[in-house]
Every structure is written in C-alpha cells, then in structure tokens.
Amino acid sequence: MSLRLLLICLLALLTPLSPATTPPEVRIGVLSHRGDEATLKNWSPTADYLSREIPEYRFVIVPLNFREIEPAVRDQTVDFLLVNPGIYVNMEVRYRITRIATLNNLLNGQPLNIFGGVIFTRADNDAIRELEQIRGQRFMAVDRTSLGGFEMAWQALSGVGIDPNEDTRLSFGGTHDAVVRAVLEGRADAGTVRTGILEAMTIDGASPLDRVRVLGERWSDEHPFHHSTRLYPEWPFSKLQHTTNRLARRVAIALLRMSSLEPAAQWGDYAGWTIPLEYQPVHDLLKELHLPPYDQPEQFTLADAIRKYWYWLLTALAFLAVMAVMTTWVARLNRALERSKGLLERQHNLILDSVGDGIYGVDLQGNATFFNRAAEAITGWKAQDLIGQNQHEKLHHTHADGTPHLPEECPVYHTFRDGQPRFVQEDLFWRKDGSSFPVEYSSTPLRDEKGHIVGSVVVFRDISTRKKAEEAARQYQAELAHVARLSTMGEMASGMAHELNQPLTAIATNADACIRLLEADPDARDRIIDVLETIGTQSRRAGSIIQQLRQFVRKEEPQLTWVDINQLIEEVLMLVQPEIDRAGIGVVRDLEPNLARVRAQRIQIDQVILNLVRNAIEAMNDSRVTTRSLTLRTRNQDGHSVLVSVEDTGPGLDESVRDKLFDPFVTSKPQGMGLGLSISLGIIDAHKGKLYYDGGTEGAIFRFIIPVSQSDAS
Ligand code: ADP
C-alpha cells in the first residue's frame, strides 16, 4: 500500500472520532450567591440538559458574584442570565434583557415560583421581639443588591418606620449562610435571608430554625415558608439583547419542557420552569426604595406633566377662566360703584351747599371735618382754612360778655360725651374778621356703623335778623301799649278831673273855713288844726292821683322788677274809682294775702289789669244790668305762678266778638278801638304767661296767669 493510500485510510478512520465542527458555546451567567463551586454544582446539569436538548450549542455555566453581573451583561460576555429578580429588573431597564422563563423553585420538596425574605433574630435574644426593636441593633443582610437577602427586608422595615441604612448598624454577610451563621453566633443581632434558606440549612446537623425567632412574620397560602416580607416572583431566566430570538425560543421551550424528575432539576434543587411571571412588583419595590435603576429622579418633561396631570390642569384652567370672568365682573361692578359713589358725593356736597344753614362736621379731637358753603358765607372762613383745625378755637372761643368760652363747656363737646343731640337757642359765633353774630345751633352725634360716636354735625343759623325783628316787634308793642295808655287816659280824663276836683274843692273850702275861723276867733286853735289836717289829707290824695297818672302814661324802660300784683290792683282801682262810682258798681276784692311777687314790667301788667277792669265796668254800664259787681281775685298757683281773675256781672261776651276776641280792632263798642285785649295778650305772652276768657254763667270772667319768674315758665 502506498503512503498516500495509507494516509487516506488513516483519515477515514479518524474522521468519526473528531467532530467536523465544535458547537458554539452559549454562556449562562448565574448569580453565585452561595459560592462559585456550589453554583457550578447546582447549575451545570441544567446547562448540560440544554446542550442535550439543543445540540447545536454547548451551554456552559458562568458563575457571577453580585459585582460581576453588570460588567458581564454590559460586555456581553454571557448570552443568558439567571439572577434574582432585583438584578434582573436592573438589567432589564439598563440593558434591555428579556425574561423567557421563571424558575419553579423547590423548597422542602414543594415547587414554588414566588419567594420573599425572612427577618430573624436569635431565639434567645429577648431584646428583639418585634421588627421595630431592630432599630439601633446590628443588622446583617446578604448583599446590598440582594433582593430576597436585603431589599425585601428594607421595604418591610420601612413599613414600620425603620430605614436599615440609617437606623440600624447594617452589615452584609455576602451569602445567605453567612448571615444565618452570624446571627446564630451572636455577631449580628438580627439578619435577613431569602425564604427557604432557614428551612433548607443545617448547621452542626441541626436546622437553624429551632434557634431563631422570625420577626414580623406574615402568612400566605401560596407560600408556606417563614417570611417577613411581601412575596415576589422567583428568579427569571433571561436572554441578553444580543442573543437571537430563535435560540431564546428554543431555550425557553426546553426549559418549560423540563420535568421535575430531570437530573438537572434535581441537581439544581428546583422543580422546573414556568412561563415568565410579571416582574412589576419588583419594579415597584425598587421605585419605592429609590434603588437602581430608580435611584435617579426621572426626567419629567412638560408633556409628561400634562399627560399625568391633565385633569388637574383642566380644572385649574377652568378655575382660572371662572376667576377671570369673576374678576372682570367685579372690576366692572367696582367701576359702577365708584361712579355711584362719586355721584352720591357730588349730590351730598350739592345738598350741603344748597342749604341756607351753616353745616360743619367735627371729629372727636374737635377738628372740623367738612364745612359747607353757607358756613363759609356766614363766618367768612374758607373750608380749607378750617378743615383739620379746631373749630371751637376759631368759631366759638368767647362769650358775649367777653369771657373765654372754655371747650369743656362747649355743647358740641358734651355731645361727644353723652351722645345726646343738643339744640342751643341763642349763642355767639365769631367770624374770621373778629366780629361776632348771634346764632342758634344744633349739635347731633355722628356714629359709625357699629354705633360708636365718631364726631358730630353742627347746623347753625345766624339769628341777627330775627333778633332785630324781635326787638322791633317788642318796641312796636311797647309803643302801641303806650299809645293805648294815653288813649285810655284820654277816655278817663273827665272822670279823673272829677276825682281831682273833689279833694281840690275840699282843700279850697277848708282853707276858707280856716280863714273864717281865724277871723272869728283867733284862739280857735284846735279846730283850725283839724281843718288843716283835712286839707293835708285831701291834697295828698290829689297828689297820689296825679302820681298814678304820671306813672301810667310814662314810657317804661324794658326792665323787669319784682311786682306785687295786689298792689297794682289797688292802684288801678284808684284810677277807675270815678267810673266805678258813676256806674254804681260794687267792688269785691278777693286778694291772696301772701301773693307771690312776680318778675314783670310793672306798667304793662298795670295796663292789662286796667284794660280788663275797664272792659268789665263798660260791660256793666249797660242799662239792662241790674246787679253790678266787679270781683278781683288773686291766687298763688303751684308756687310758680300767680293767677289773676277779673269777673263782672255784665251781659257776657257779644256773639260777634266771641271767636276773635283777642284779634286787634275787634270791638262791639261804638267808640271802641278793639285794641285792649290784643295788647293785653301781647303783654302777657311776652311775660311767658297766659291770658284767656274763662266764660262765666253770669257776666264775663277774664283770667291771666303769670309766672313768678320767667325762667319758671313752662
Ligand atoms: P274795646 O274795649 O275797645 O272794644 P277790647 O279789645 O278791650 O276793645 O275788647 C274787645 C271786645 O270784647 C269788646 O268790644 C267787647 O265786645 C268784648 N268784651 C271785652 N271785655 C268784655 C266783658 N267784660 N264783657 C263783655 N264783653 C267784653
């Protein structure tokens, strides 16, 4: 055989022994939380299973500790990943890996695809009986990135207000077993591991379960193992982004088909695989704890805000629209109110200015707050001169007698104090030029809406003209009365002459008698003395009649004196004695002995009595009157006034004069002037008294009442 043939035969023999191509390697990264050796031991049979099921590939297990996982995924040094759900969610978010199956774990012979965390302490540690008591204690977890070995417990603890990072002395054991041992050996006060670890472990031939106390234990039908946290889906088997879907699908099918009796499952201590579960709860947990990948605040764009809060935005916009409408409406209303206010103010000022009386306002400090046009015209002050100034100092500072008018006596200030309106009939105000004028004024309190006094309004009127008119009327009245007295005297002149004649005749006769007596008997001394006494008496009588007459006709000064009315009556009777005698009238005097004196103008009251008495005499002069009696009565009344009655037995009032008795020029007498009663009424009125006709069954009764002092008049 040639060498060439030998080589061909050799090649033919070797060919079936060495494969034509080596199947490509598929690397499955597995979280090695219990050490690489254990990981390879547990998971290599699963890789072999897959290699068998998918012979085109050779599957190998790559154990990765917590820190090696991310670089492996990032650098695509593995094609599939079998890690806990927390790491999976991170890798899913960052490197878009996709779960294709979820592990059906076997815990103490039970298939379970959910798991949780258990928090525990040593059974003999009496200091920690509740989760809350972990605060401040040495707390050990597996690894900061371990879901079941830390993060689940963190969430459970934050539920009772404990942040294990801040509130405990936190340490990490690296593996579940290390945590269990540390707690049992007293190197940690409490610890946390994933569910099933405590049940599966044996330490020194005994289950650690007997030596631990589970804290915050929860119960679930789906998960009959000790746990202190919520439950989450088991480990996912996931494909990396670069791994083909075809391969992934074949791996998924192979995994789902795996029976729990498969040696791979038994080596891995699991029951098989299920379709991939929902890992959203894990996302939620990481979000809640602000853990990667949710440790950075999310970029929240305006669009996101609108999408998320559109209903709030809509409500806010609707609210703003309503507010805008309301604001416009309120603004319009405001403008209308402003206009009305301006109008009212103008009207108010117009009214104030159109009033003839002076009006000004005063605040509680006594300063003027407004001053109307009439007030300006009357006082000569301008509103701007007085507003804000003390009105009392400007207008009201001095009394008529020149003494200062103190503010505390000012009625305007009294109004502030007692809140009572006041009316002052006569006072004095001062003009800007220093002259004064008489005023009547009112001061009315001004109150705010709560009823508190905030000032007062003073309304005043210059009463100079009225006072002048009153004075003129008074003078006119006095003149009239004087004229009437002269006229009365004229009427009485003949009677008077007769009255005077009597004493004068008696004087003359008696003087003659004296002369004769002296001629006949120079020693007739005693008789002459008698006659001279008669002469003296008669001449005194004549003198007093003349005195009365003079007094009656003289013009009286307008001053008041204390007058005894009983005495006036006697004087009047003396004047009219001749008429009384001629008419044959009997005079009855019913005079109050202790009659009060009255403050009056003597001649005027004299005149009233004379008028009434003469009217009575004239009424009784009627030939039909048979009984002729004149009664004059005086009485004290209530101690404050005096009542005077003149009563006659004449025919009484004539019908024609009854209704207008006191009007001037009303008379029933042919020679009468009809002024007597009207003048008398004026006099009594001026004395604040009252003159009236009081009827009478027979004849007429006239009465007048006059106050003792005019300040007693009511
Ligand atoms: P005169 O006496 O000038 O008429 P008076 O004013 O004194 O004016 O009186 C007015 C009228 O009142 C009298 O004319 C008379 O009719 C009536 N009169 C007054 N007093 C009496 C009286 N005592 N009896 C009746 N009538 C009287």
Domain ranges of the chain: 2-110+236-289, 115-231, 299-343, 355-462, 469-555, 558-714
Predicted confidence (pLDDT) at residue 97 exceeds the cutoff of 70: yes
Q: DSSP assignment of 134-187, as one string?
A: GTTSEEEES-TT-IIIIIHHHHHHHTTT--HHHHSEEEE-SSHHHHHHHHHTTS
CATH code, 355-462 = 3.30.450.20
Average predicted confidence (pLDDT) for the chain: 88
Nearest CA to ligand 1 atom 16: 668
- In short, whether 619's Cβ falls inside 6 Å of ligand 1 is yes
pLDDT at 298: 62
Q: What is the pLDDT of residue 712?
A: 53
48/59 Cα distance (integer angstroms): 6
The whole-number average pLDDT for the span 667-676 is 85
- The mean pLDDT of 600-610, rounded to a whole number, is 89
Give the pLDDT of residue 13.
43
CA–CA distance, 450 with 600 (Å, rounded to integer): 51
* β-sheet bridge partners, residue 361: 370, 457
Section 301-313 average pLDDT: 86
User: Ligand 1, atom 23: nearest CA belongs to which residue?
Assistant: 616
Closest by alpha carbon to 614, among 543, 676, 681? Answer: 676
Atom index in ligand 1 nearest the CA of residue 673 equals: 3
* Architecture of the domain delimited by 115-231: 3-Layer(aba) Sandwich (3.40)
Q: How far is the CA of 290 from the centre of ligand 1 (A)?
A: 123
Q: Tokens at residue 559, please?
A: 């001053």
10 pLDDT tier (thresholds 50, 70, 90): very low
What percent of the chain has a predicted confidence (pLDDT) above 70? 95
pLDDT of residue 168: 95
- The pLDDT, as a whole number, for residue 505 is 85
pLDDT of 523 higher than 90 = no
Nearest residue (CA) to ligand 1, atom 14: 667
Overall average pLDDT of the 163-178 stretch: 93
Confidence grade of residue 324 (pLDDT, cut at 50, 70, 90): very high
**Of the given ranges (23-32, 104-113, 587-596, 646-655), which has the lowest mean pLDDT?**
104-113
Q: Beta strand pairing status for 25-31 and 80-82? A: parallel
Centre a 10 Å sphere on the Cβ of residue 38 and count the other Cβ atoms it contains: 14
Q: Domain 558-714 adopts which CATH fold?
A: Heat Shock Protein 90 (3.30.565)
Please tell me the predicted confidence (pLDDT) of residue 305. 83
Would you say residue 402 has pLDDT above 60?
A: yes
What pLDDT, in 10s, does the model give residues 211-220? 999 999 999 8
pLDDT category at 7 given cuts 50, 70, 90 is very low
499 lines ligand 1 (CB under 6 A): no
Question: Is pLDDT of 5 > 70?
Answer: no
Q: At residue 12, does pLDDT exceed 50?
A: no
pLDDT given for residue 696 in this prediction: 66
Nearest CA to ligand 1 atom 19: 615
Say yes or no: do domains 2-110+236-289 and 558-714 share a fold: no
DSSP state of 102: E
Measured distance CA(368)–CA(458) in Å, rounded: 10
What's the pTM?
0.43
Query: Tokens 């609108």 map to which residue?
Result: 306
Residue 51 pLDDT > 90, yes or no?
yes
Which one of 585, 612, 615 would you pick to mutate in the ligand 1 pocket, going by the greatest count of ligand atoms within 8 A of its CB? 615
pLDDT of residue 557: 65
Determine whether domain 2-110+236-289 maps to CATH 3.30.2090.10: no
Mean pLDDT confidence for 4-9: 47
* Predicted local confidence at residue 293, as pLDDT: 85
Q: Name the strand (E) or helix (H) holding 518.
A: helix 464-520
Cβ of 666 below 6 Å from ligand 1: yes
- State residue 481's pLDDT score: 77
**Could you tell me which of 690, 676, 679 has the C-alpha nearest to residue 642?**
690
With a CB cutoff of 8 Å and minimum separation 6, the contacts of 285 are 86, 147, 151, 152, 155, 230, 232, 291
